[in-house]
Each structure stands twice: as C-alpha cells, then as structure tokens.
A and B are shown apart, each in its own frame.
Chain A
Amino acid sequence: MLTYILFMLVVGSIYALLAQSLMLSWGLAGLVNLGLAGFFAVGAYASAMLTTWEQAPILVGVSVAVLAGGLAGLLVCFSTLRLRDDYLAIVTLGFAEIVRIVASNEVWLTGGTDGISGVPVMIARDTGVWFHLGTLLITVAAVILVYVLQRRLLASPWGRALRAVREDQTVASVAGKSIVRFKAQAFSLAAAIAGLAGALYGHYTSYVAPDQFQPLITIYIFLAVTAGGNARPAGAVLGAYLLVAFLEATRFLAEIAPGVTALQAAALREIAVGIGLVIVLTLRPDGLLPERSQKAPAS
C-alpha cells in the first residue's frame, strides 16, 4: 500500500511538472501546446540515451534533457511564428507524432519500438521503499523548484509582459513589447520543463519507449491543468495530483461494477474518466484555483 501511494505520488509529481509546463505556455502565454507528449519524449530519450549508452552521470543526462526540450521548443516555436494561434495546436500535435514516429522507426538512433531498458535509476532499486521515497523527494524537489521559478517569473516584469501579450497582442506590441520574443521564451521554457519531466520519468521507471508518449498523456495533462486552474502554478500542480488520484480511483469503481466482463470494466473506467472531466470543466470552468489578479478571458 505504501509503495503504491509513493509510486502514484512520483507519477503525480511527473504529471505536475508537465502540468506546469502546459500552464506556462498555455495559461500564461496563450500558446496551445498539443505536443506536450513530444517534448516529454525528447527529454526522456535525451537523458536515457546519454546515461544508458554513454554512461554519462544522471545529472548530465537530466541537464541535457532540459536543454534538448528547450531547443525542441524553440524549433517548433520558430517554425510556427507566422502561424495563427489556432494553427499552433495542429503543428505541435504533429510534432509529438513525428517524435513518436522517429523514435519507433529510426532504430539505429533510438532503439526503435524496443525502447531503451535498464536506464540508470537515481536511488538504488534494492533499497526497497527508499527507492520510491528517495525518488519522490527528488521529483517533489523538482516540482517545487519549477514552482518557485514560475512564481518569480510571474511576478517579474517578464511575467507581466507575458500576460499583457496574452490579453491583447496589439496593445502589447504598441507598448513596445516584442511579442515574438516573449512567446518563444515562454514556449521554450515550457518545453524544457517537459523535458525535465521526461528525464525524471525515465530514471524512475528504468525504461523509455515510444508507446509511453501517446497523445493520451497530453490529454491527461490538459485535464489536470484545466481542473486545477490554468493560470496559476499551484492550480496546475494540484490538478496533476488530483488527476492521478482520480485515474486510479476509477480502477476501483470499475471493479465493483456488477456483471461486466474485464473488457466492459475497462471501458466503463474510461467512460468515467471522460465524464468526470466534463463535469469538472462544467462546474469549475476556471479550475479549482482560478487566476487571482483578473478573470481569465473567454478567448
């Protein structure tokens, strides 16, 4: 039971990092990133390849993962600068698919659909509960670090400018803000955070494979951020932990449904997840922790 809770808390922390990444690009900069799973994958692969095949220290792997995520973010952002905002969604969605296709098919580079197993872990596996507890401390520290960073950024002139850009691009540009630069910075930083999440995930589960980065992860994180409140770091973090709790709780709900086969129970579980999300969106459209300063506008 303890291990289970610790494990889910680690997964929740990874989701919390992803949620903060999404909050930064979507909630603050207004850039819809449907390619979150792609940046997650880039980070996971970067660190796993370096530490497993090149025996680099984990710290180096994680740092490179953050850089790789940020670079990928810049790349995607610059290739979409001229696009309308609603098209950014499809380009990022495409990016995530391309990452998965490349990871599956370029066997020489990524190990293909086999994935990379035996990725080094941060705390020795044979330490029992300490393996989970130690990893949890590390991931929670990462969540806190990113949280503090975001709070500071938000309070800084940069954060205010970013919000100004989100509210009204024209006004912001008239006020002399370089919209492109702000957006690129926010997007790239967000992608770097997703990269960090990917690296930590790989170093916890010891395994990185293309199938881990299905679009469903991105949907889950959107759920988490929306439920928690998409413009406050605390909302995103809270939403992520709640999401994992909810996903796991549906397991037990499906189990007590009478007279259904295993397949039907699995279907019921996914139905519950979908309906649960819509209910949350309906009841709390601004999330559990809405943005403080002003109400989120209907864009």
Chain B
Amino acid sequence: MFDAVLQALVNGVIVGALLAIPALGFSAIFAVLRFPNFAIGALATAGAYIAWIANVTLGLPIVAAIIVAFLSAAIFGATLEYGALERLGRGGALMKAIGSLAMAMVIENIVRFFFGNDLRAFDLPLARDLVFGPIRIGPQQITNFIFALAIMVAIWAFLSFSSLGRSMRAVADNADLARLKGINPRLIALVTVAVGSGLCGVGGTLIGLDTSIDPLLGGRVLLSVFAAAVLGGLGSIPGAVAGAFVIGMVEEITVLALAPAYRLAVGFIVILVVLVIRPSGLLGSKAG
C-alpha cells in the first residue's frame, strides 16, 4: 500500500509539472489584467497543433517545436486580447472572462475546421518505464518534468532579474503606482499576455507529447489548471506552481483512495477547504 501511495505521488508530481506551465500562464495573465482568461485551454490546443506541424510536417526537432508553440501561442493570445477582449474591459472583469470563453470556442473550432477531430501524435517513440525499486517512471515524463522545471526557473529568473519582469511585477502589485514610476502598463500587459499565452501553448505541447493531440486537448485540462491557479492564489506565480503540484497529487491519490471518476470533485473540495482556511489561496496576496 505504501508503495502504491508513493507511486501515485510520483505520478502526481509529474501531472502537476505539466499543469504548472499553463497554470503559470493563467495566473500571470490574471495578475496583470485581473480577469480569468478561459481561452487558455484553447490556446494550449492551438500551441500543440502548431508544434505538431513543426515537428511532424516540417520535421523540426521537439525543442524547436516547443519554441514555435510558445511563439505562436503568444501571438494568438496577444491578438485575442487586443483584437477582441480589451474592448470588453469597460464592462468589467467578468465581461472579459465571458468573452474569453467565447474566443475559446472560436479557437477550438478553427483548429477543428483545419485539422478535423482525428487523433494526432508527435513523431516520437514511446519508451517503457524505468524502474527504481518500487517506483517506475517514464523517460518521456522525466524529460517533460525537466522541461517544465526549466521553464519555471526561466520564468522566475525573468520576473526577478530582468527589468521587464520587474515592471510586470510592479504592474501586478499596483498598476497606478507603476504608472507613476514611468512604466507603461499597456506595454507590460501586452508582454504578460503574450508570455502567459505562450506558456499555455508550451503546456499543451508537453501534454501532447505525453499523450496525443485532438481539438479537445486543452479543454480537458482547463478545470485542473484553473483549480491549480485558484488553489495557489489567483495571480500568484509561485502559488500557481504549488497549486499545480497539489492538484496533481490530489487527483492521483483520489484514484487510490476513492474512485478515479471523482478526481475533479475531490480537487474542488480541496480548494474549498484551503480557501476557507486561507481566503487568498496557498500563496496568494491579500489584495482583491
């Protein structure tokens, strides 16, 4: 039994790492623009498809495909924000949230229009798991995990050390104060949306590498990503990562302890409990 739990926790950490990337993107967008962007699932799908074209059709290596996915999802996300959503901001955050739901429908169906619903897979062999004592883990999972960690470190370094990153944090903390300091909030918002969307594209690609891709890919993980970001504290970057790992592990433990079908239900109950104890989430700031 102990082995089973340990294995489930390891699986959960790997799931969490995959959730963490889009959760980071979601939380970053929320931090600066203050609205839940529901289009992240569709952006993840779009990114995965672009990466698939780069990898399978154009024959680029996986790393290049991931970079292409990041760049194209960043462009899609920024276009979405400035082509459609920004104008809805007058009506409040919820208008933008609803607008993003509608845009998610549009993106998913553009993908469907061009690619159909058939499963597609990356040009990648599948390796059997490596066994370490009672624990087994797949080489692809390890690679994905390292990718995810590297991206998280890169984001952390970007936010901590680059002037653009510091400006982003300043705008997230207090947009008015940031403006006084001569930071252009609009430019910062643009960069944040692009980076956040790009991360979603990468997240979708990593999930696609682990499984296969179809137009519902992003929609399937949307709720878990959302849950991770909320659990960590909306708008908190380290919170999103922590939330993703917790949600990942909770979902896998549910399989053992209750029934696989109840993973989302258990996830939401965990959120409820955490939020009742800590109303701003695991690592969230108090600011509303």
Binding site for B on A (CB under 8 A): 26, 32, 79-80, 82-87, 89-91, 93-95, 97-98, 101-102, 104-105, 219, 222-223, 226, 263-264, 266-268, 270-271, 273-275, 277-278, 281-282, 285-286, 296-299
Cβ A105 vs Cβ B95 within 8 A: no
Point out the residues of chain B lying under 8 angstroms from A86, CB to CB: 36, 93, 234, 288
CB distance from A112 to the nearest CB of B (A): 11
Given contacts A89-B36, A299-B92, contact A270 B275 (CB under 8 A): no
Residues of B contacting A83 with CB < 8 Å?
Answer: 275-276, 279
Is there contact, CB below 8 Å, between A104 and B261?
Answer: yes
Distance in Å from the Cβ of A129 to the closest Cβ of chain B?
34
Shortest C-beta distance, A199 to chain B (Å), equals 24
- Tell me if B113 and A268 are in contact (CB < 8 A): yes
Contact at A278–B265, with CB atoms within 8 Å?
A: no
Cβ–Cβ < 8 Å partners of B105 in chain A: 219, 270-271, 273-274
Contact of B271 with A94 in the complex, beta carbons under 8 Å: yes
Cβ–Cβ < 8 Å partners of A95 in chain B = 268
With both beta carbons as reference points, the residue of chain A lying nearest to B259 in the complex is identified as A105
Q: How many A-B residue pairs have CB under 8 A?
A: 133
Contact for B113 among A101, A267, A273, CB less than 8 A: A267
B88 at the interface (CB under 8 A from A): yes
Within B91-109, the residues touching A (CB, 8 Å) are: 91-95, 97-99, 101-106, 108-109
A226 to chain B: closest residue by CB: B98
Report if A282-B87 is in contact (Cβ < 8 Å); known contacts: A83-B276, A226-B95, A264-B113. Answer: yes
Minimum-distance CB pairs A-B, first 6: A94-B268, A274-B106, A285-B91, A274-B105, A267-B109, A267-B113
Beyond A83-B276, A84-B280, A89-B36, whether A274 also contacts B109 by CB under 8 A is: yes
Q: Is the CB of B109 within 8 A of A93?
A: no
Q: Of residues B84, B101, B103, B280, which shows the largest number of chain A Cβ atoms within 10 Å of its Cβ?
A: B101
Question: Chain A binding site: helix, strand, loop or mixed by DSSP?
Answer: helix
Interface residues of B in 230-273 (CB under 8 A from A): 230, 234, 259, 261-262, 264-265, 267-269, 271-272
Q: List 6 A-B contacts (CB under 8 A).
A: A80-B272, A91-B271, A95-B268, A263-B112, A285-B95, A296-B92
Tell me, yes or no, whether B177 is within 8 Å of chain A by CB: no
B145 to chain A, nearest CB (A): 27
Across the interface, which residues of A come within 8 angstroms of B234, CB to CB? 86-87
Interface residues on chain B, number (Cβ under 8 Å): 46
Partner of A268, one of B93, B99, B109: B109
Query: Which chain A positions have C-beta within 8 A of B116?
Result: 263
With CB as the reference atom, state the residue of chain A lying closest to B113.
A267
**Which residues on the A side are within 8 Å of B117 (C-beta)?**
263
Q: Are B271 and A271 in contact (CB under 8 A)?
A: no
Are B98's CB and A223's CB within 8 A?
A: yes
Pair A278/B103 contact, Cβ less than 8 Å: yes
Nearest CB of chain B from residue A215's CB, rounded to whole Å: 9
**Which residue in chain A gives the minimum CB-CB distance to B270?**
A94
Residue picked from B91, B103, B110, most chain A C-beta under 10 Å: B91
Nearest-neighbour CB distance to chain B for A157, whole angstroms, equals 27
Whether the Cβ atoms of A271 and B94 lie closer than 8 Å is no
Specify which chain B residues have a CB less than 8 angstroms from the CB of A102 in the assembled complex. Answer: 265
Do A97 and B98 contact each other (CB < 8 Å), given the known contacts A83-B276, A271-B109?
no
Q: How far is the CA of A94 from the CA of B267 in the complex (A)?
A: 9
Q: How far is the CB of A279 from chain B (nearest CB, A)?
A: 9
Which residue of B110, B267, B280 is within 8 Å of A271 (Cβ)?
A: B110
> In whole angstroms, how far apart are the Cα atoms of A267 and B99 in the complex?
18
Name 15 extra pairs, CB < 8 A, besides A26-B94, A273-B105: A79-B276, A80-B272, A84-B279, A86-B93, A91-B271, A93-B226, A94-B271, A97-B264, A263-B117, A270-B105, A270-B109, A274-B102, A277-B99, A282-B84, A299-B92
